[in-house]
Amino acid sequence: MLEVKKAAELLLDSTFAIAFTGAGISTASGIPDFRGPQGLWKRYSPELASIDYFRKDPKGFWEFYSFRMRSLFNAEPNRAHYALAELERMGVIKYVITQNIDGLHRKAGSMRVIELHGTMLESYCTSCFKRYDSREVLKMIDRGELPPRCSCGGIIRPDVVLFGEPVKDIEYALTIAQESDAVLVVGSSLTVYPANLVPQVVKQNGGKLIIVNLEETPMDDFADLVIRGKAEEIVPAILDAVKELVSNN
Ligand code: APR
């Protein structure tokens, strides 16, 4: 595929390439995305993932979130996650900046991962801030403790960024974006602010914007390269093209 070879060339011509990922990189791992044809927000209201709803109805919040947590704990990284981890080991990708809360990049071996929207794998008490492994929290819920409470009596919440809350490490992520001269966007609708500033900043600073996505995004027209396809097929193909170019040099 010519586009895959072009993506490999753009990455190898860069000195500080990063990856920016969204839910589309994890759909092949069995985790639904949000705005695709089978997206979560096509079936549920995003209100369920807001800080206001958590405060108003923590029981209802956890009924929704525990269902999502269970699907995450059964998920494994797919070929796209592993390919990004290998591109990092080769020094081609310097960071993965992700909107995902599924922990699959780290599970696949990526080391430098910035989780802008937090992680579902951990939770914490809203009163004393004691941290919990979210699997322990699910066990509390299985014992009928809804909402799950800390030993201090406080309500426990997942360590994710809910709608209405500030995004984690956005300044750090944007500082890295300022340094980057290429960004490989994988599986994001690029519709959620401020996360979507990351690829914008790379492009505005003269960096290359490569988008791998099943559907159109608002940034396609500004991209140096758009590859319409499945992340789990395209990203491993880009890795193979990088390896071929490196071995031929
Ligand atoms: N390969 C490539 N692209 C895919 C695949 C796939 N296998 N599966 C889905 N996609 C595409 C969809 O077409 C969609 O355009 O991935 C994109 C995912 O977009 P969203 O569902 O909007 O997910 P994301 O961009 O990560 O959303 C950002 O919104 O709800 C909040 O906090 C949530 O982190 C999330 C944020």
Which residues, listed in sequence order, are joined to residue 227 by a DSSP beta bridge?
212
Instruction: Give the model's pLDDT for residue 13.
Output: 98
Name residue, tokens 């979210």: 134
Mutate to test the pocket of ligand 1, among 38, 47, 214 (most ligand atoms within 8 A of CB): 214
Is the pLDDT assigned to residue 249 strictly greater than 90?
Answer: no
**Is the C-beta atom of 79 inside 6 A of ligand 1?**
no
What percent of the chain is modeled with pLDDT above 70? 100
Mutate to test the pocket of ligand 1, among 20, 35, 41 (most ligand atoms within 8 A of CB): 35
- What is the whole-number distance in angstroms between the Cα of residue 34 and the centre of ligand 1? 6
Calculate the dihedral angle through the C-alpha atoms of 139, 166, 217, 41, rounding to the nearest 10 degrees: 40
User: For the residues 101-129, what does the mean pLDDT come to?
Assistant: 97
pTM summary value: 0.97
Q: Can 105 be counted among the known catalytic residues?
A: no
What is the Cα–Cα distance from 78 to 55, expressed in whole angstroms? 35
Please write the tens of the pLDDT for every residue from 151-210: 999 999 999 999 999 998 999 999 999 999 999 999 999 999 999 999 999 999 999 999
Please write the tens of the pLDDT for every residue from 43-102: 999 999 999 999 999 999 999 999 889 988 889 999 999 999 999 999 999 999 999 999
Q: Can you count the helices (H) and strands (E) in the chain?
A: 10, 9
DSSP 8-state secondary structure symbol assigned to residue 163: B
SS (H, E, C) 51-66: HHHHHHCHHHHHHHHH
Using CA atoms, how far residue 233 sits from 83, 116, 142, 205, in Å, is 10, 25, 37, 29
**Is the C-beta atom of 231 inside 6 A of ligand 1?**
yes
Looking from the CA of 17 toward its CB, the CA atoms found within 13 Å total 24
β pairing state of 118-125 and 208-213: unpaired
Between CA 122 and CA 129, with CA 123 as vertex, the angle to 5 degrees is 125
**Is the C-beta atom of 245 inside 6 A of ligand 1?**
no
Mean residue pLDDT of the chain comes to 96
- What is the whole-number distance in angstroms between the Cα of residue 65 and the centre of ligand 1? 18
Radius of gyration of the chain (CA): 19
- Residue 77: CB atoms within 10 Å: 23
**Is the C-beta atom of 102 inside 6 A of ligand 1?**
no
Q: Which of 68, 81, 94, 117 is catalytic?
A: 117
**Is the C-beta atom of 230 inside 6 A of ligand 1?**
yes
Higher pLDDT, 221 or 71: 221
Q: Are 175 and 200 in contact (CB under 8 A)?
A: no
Is the pLDDT assigned to residue 23 strictly greater than 90?
Answer: yes
Q: Are 163 and 49 in contact (CB under 8 A)?
A: yes
